[in-house]
């Protein structure tokens, strides 16, 4: 995203470059916010992961006055409801890759990430209930299920922010 604002006598050019990358984190079996209680599927059940289809990037804009920021990662636990909307997000800082989110100077990074994920939309996760003895080889494919039960899930994401001189851009990987 690049932007310039103009007026007859005044031209303003944003001389910052802003880069954001995000990735989904794995549940951490050693404890911390990543620890989740596993649900064991029955032989006649399958599970379809939620599919993210609308994901605006976090935008810092002018709220962060820093001109330079080395790659800095903040993390969120995102609760996705059974209808695919984001119910809430909670900062995670008890994992080594997420510790920067606890620093006061990075609060604006966490807020930008939370504002963005609040607008994310998913095709919901679901438990697929198949007829006894008829589960397909790909149990994440609910097409032949007798019943599809949308379920809420908790996902973990890491957002890496970087600010350098230049044009204002946001990149997601």
Mean pLDDT of the chain: 77
Mean pLDDT, residues 112-130 taken together: 95
Sequence spans of domains, the chain: 20-162
Does the pLDDT of residue 167 top 80, yes or no?
no
Residue 60 CB neighbour total at 10 angstroms:
21
What residues have CB less than 8 Å from 73, skipping those under 6 apart?
Answer: 97, 98, 100, 101, 158, 159, 160, 161
Cα–Cα dist 90/113, whole Å: 10
Cα–Cα dist 107/88, whole Å: 17
User: What pTM, to 2 d.p., does this model score?
Assistant: 0.74
**Predicted pLDDT of residue 31:** 44
Cα–Cα dist 79/64, whole Å: 26
Mean pLDDT, residues 150-168 taken together: 80
**Predicted pLDDT of residue 102:** 96
State the burial class of residue 52 (Cβ atoms within 10 Å of its Cβ: 0-12, 13-18, 19+). middle
Winning range, highest mean pLDDT, from 5-19, 20-34, 133-147, 156-170: 133-147
Which residue carries 């995000």 as its tokens? 22
Q: Reduced to 3 states, what is the DSSP secondary structure of residue 62?
A: helix
C-alpha distances (whole Å) from 100 to each of 96, 105, 157 are: 9, 9, 14
And the tokens for 1?
A: 């995203």
């Amino acid at each position: 995203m690049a932007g310039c604002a103009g007026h007859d006598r005044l031209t303003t050019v944003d001389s910052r470059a802003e880069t954001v990358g995000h990735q989904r984190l794995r549940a951490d079996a050693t404890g911390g916010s990543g620890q989740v209680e596993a649900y064991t599927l029955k032989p006649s059940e399958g599970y379809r992961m939620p599919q993210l289809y609308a994901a605006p990037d976090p935008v810092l804009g002018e709220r962060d006055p820093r001109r330079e920021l080395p790659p800095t990662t903040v993390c969120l636990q995102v609760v996705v409801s059974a209808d695919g909307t984001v119910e809430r997000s909670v900062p995670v800082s008890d994992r080594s890759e997420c510790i920067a989110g606890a620093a006061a100077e990075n609060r604006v990074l966490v807020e930008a990430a939370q504002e963005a994920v609040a607008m994310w939309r998913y095709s919901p996760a679901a438990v697929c209930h198949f007829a006894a003895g008829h589960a397909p080889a790909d149990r994440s494919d609910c097409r032949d299920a007798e019943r599809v039960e949308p379920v809420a899930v908790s996902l973990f994401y890491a957002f890496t922010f970087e600010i350098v001189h230049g044009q204002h851009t946001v990149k997601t990987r």
